[in-house]
Amino acid sequence: MSSVKIKSALISVYYKDNLEPIVKLLAANGVQIFSTGGTQKFIEDLGVSVTPVEEMTTYPSIFGGRVKTLHPAIFGGILYRRELEDDVKTASEYNIPSIDLVIVDLYPFEETVASGASESDIIEKIDIGGISLIRAAAKNYKDVLIVSSREQYGQVEEILASKNCSTDIEDRKLFAAKAFDISSHYDSAIFNYFNESQNQKVFKQSVREGSVLRYGENPHQEGTFYGKLDEMLEQLNGKELSYNNLVDIDAAVNLIEEFDETAFAILKHTNACGVATASTVKEAYEKAFAADTLSAFGGVLITNKKVDLAAAETMHDLFFEVLIAPDFDADALELLKGKKNRILLKQKIQLTAKKQYKSLLNGVIEQDRDLKTDSLSDLKTVTRRQPTDTEKNALIFASKIAKHTKSNTIVLANNGQLFSSGVGQTSRVDALKQAIQKAKVFGFDLKGSVMASDAFFPFPDCVEIANEAGIKSVIQPGGSIKDQDSIDFCDKNDMAMVFTGVRHFKH
């Protein structure tokens, strides 16, 4: 039968907020309520009659509350099939009551882990009875409605009120799906906690929040973002974020985290077309914009400092898709909101993920995020000429940008300003030639600038071309069997070269 009238309910929850209207609605419709412990007291305090589960099981709550609902009388009442004569006969024979509604949630395992609690406290938050009740009720959705989270209370109250405490098969199947979503997510969280120390090569990730995007990379592709985006970014203005917006925003956030000093970056298709550091956001923006005044059109902008009115006025006339900042002065925000489709995002937290995932072929690849940032202490000078302190700072600056640029890449810069980059080329020579040509187009004199490469030079051709352009200091990871050829050329031409020992490919 599609419609089931609820005559009895089992309620046992950790979170009791917003439960009161449902309890009172059930009571008003004559539903018998079974409950345990704190939930039982909560219901009694509402003046509603409740039957302790101990009366069903004839057992008290034992082992510090670890066992209270794990009993055939309860699970039989949930699982027996009302349409099967033998099941009905067995339920009657053993005096097992029918349970038509189960409202159960789970101990806050993930929250307890996140709080830094002790291992013993975390283990105690692994729910046994609750997860079993949820699975049992969801399995028997043809007869039972399962409510597995406080997030569902409002929807359940609406259904019960509109249908006089009856449910349809569509209702019960929907909430069964929600229940298995919750139970599988919960089990994944527990497994991943244990697997931190065991390191089994198993891919088990669960994200319960999904937002449908306008489309994917192109209008004929569907797209969805899975995650709690609002925990990281607050949208202050503009149209709905797109798939491509999110990909670029991810690249921008990763790049800007390399800098402690005031920095500004402009990205297009995940690559930086302008990056600069300065004493103010306005100055940093102006220097970043100067690197490529053409590509900045329609770009994604990001800074690591509050945007004030002076900075806002400078960038306001530029057409850009997105601006990300940790905060905005009120007058700056008001000005920037003048263009209604312009997306303004306030970044509330830094990135915390330690892993990256990508689907490909018929599976998924996983890797550690590249959390290594080259520093002055990493630099090993391999040429006779030592780079000056100014050059060293410029080399580190350029290396940070190269790390976040698609391979093969070459970055040309000075101390605090990107001049140009060669992006995603099939050869390092092509990347360098592209960077030199681009720097010339935008009026940069490369004499005395520095060059960063995301990987080693297999031949001395790149340092030869760089020297001809006036570049006199180079940073690269090293590691080629022909490193010495590049070093020898640098020594003959008064160039400085440093190795970092760390490659930063980005495919």
Active site residues: 139, 269
Helix H or strand E encompassing 417: strand 417-422
Give the single-character DSSP code of 48.
-
Instruction: Please give the single-letter amino acid code of residue 500.
Output: T
| Contact yes or no for 53/96 (Cβ under 8 A) | no
| Contact yes or no for 312/334 (Cβ under 8 A) | no
For residue 66, what are the contacts with CB-CB under 8 A and spacing of at least 6?
A: 128
What is d(CA 309, CA 282) in angstroms, rounded to the nearest whole number? 9
Give the 3-state DSSP-derived string for 422-480, with helices as H, strands as E and coil as C: ECCCCCHHHHHHHHHHHHHHCCCCCCCCEEEECCCCCCCHHHHHHHHCCCCEEEECCCC
Start-to-end CA span in the chain (Å): 56
What is d(CA 274, CA 1) in angstroms, rounded to the nearest whole number? 66
Query: Do the strands 300-303 and 263-268 form a parallel or antiparallel pair, or are they unpaired?
Result: antiparallel
**Burial grade of 73 (CB within 10 A; 0-12, 13-18, 19 or more):** buried
Joined together, the tokens standing for residue 324 give 């990300």
What is d(CA 371, CA 471) in angstroms, rounded to the nearest whole number? 28
Query: In sequence order, what DSSP letters do the residues of 385-398 get, joined into one string?
Result: SPPPHHHHHHHHHH
Burial 445-460 (b: 16+ CB within 10 A, else e): ebeebbbbbbbbbbeb
Look at the block and give the residue holding tokens 């390399």: 258
Instruction: Please give the single-letter amino acid code of residue 505.
Output: F
What is d(CA 287, CA 415) in angstroms, rounded to the nearest whole number? 12
Look at the block and give the residue holding tokens 């630099």: 379
| Contact yes or no for 384/433 (Cβ under 8 A) | no
| Contact yes or no for 76/56 (Cβ under 8 A) | no
Closest CA to 322 of 257, 245, 268: 245
Joined together, the tokens standing for residue 329 give 């002065």
For residue 393, what are the contacts with CB-CB under 8 A and spacing of at least 6?
A: 376, 415, 416
| Contact yes or no for 494/384 (Cβ under 8 A) | no
3-class DSSP assignment, residue 166: strand
CB neighbours (10 Å) of residue 9? 24
Instruction: Please give the single-letter amino acid code of residue 130.
Output: G
